[in-house]
Structure 1
Amino acid sequence: MMNQAARTSLGKSTVSVLILGIGLLATALIWIGSSIVATCSMTAVDGTVVRFDHGGRSLRSYQPVISFKTANGRREEITGGTSSTQPAYDIGTGRTDLL
């Protein structure tokens, strides 16, 4: 009798873990799909790091400010979304970004 109860309990926990794993896999696949769709509609632009911004953070936090030219010839600047305690780029470094 005790062996039967242990076997049933093991079966329920196995099914629970399997359902959790399938749910996490489905979530990952949806996330990957939405990332691919978003990336396909982006445009690659060549830019240059022109300065660093602190973004309201401490003075030892560096966010690159990238200058690039749009398709209609206007010069634009964007500030990177992440920062670091050491500058990740030198001023004047060229880089390609997706917008």
Structure 2
Amino acid sequence: MNPGPVRPQSRTRRAAERTVPFGLAVYTIVVLWYTHYGHHPADVTGRRTREPWYTAKTTPAFSDMLAKLRRTITAARHIHNPAGQPGPEEIAAVIRAWEAAAA
């Protein structure tokens, strides 16, 4: 029995029903992160300086937001204790204090 033509699984109706909402969710999360935490006025200026054909660029593109998020995640992986953030010892001390207070 011939099963018919082989179709890539990414081109089925169910795949689109899964991937499109996921893509929209990821897009939304990146834009919200950039809006609340990643935006800096120099981002667009820096892009125009590096790529002079963007003479009229006034707002960051999604690719700019995504690149900044990737750089931020990479930096967070390599910086073990950013300034102002408690380290593991400090967190453990606070947890012990809470446990002692609750006992």
- TM-score of the alignment, normalized to the shorter chain, above 0.5: no
Output the TM-score relative to the length of structure 2: 0.32
**Could you say which structure has the higher helix fraction?**
2
Question: Which one has a bigger Cα radius of gyration?
Answer: 1
Higher relative contact order (CA 8 A, sep 6+): 1
TM-score computed with the length of structure 1 as normaliser = 0.33
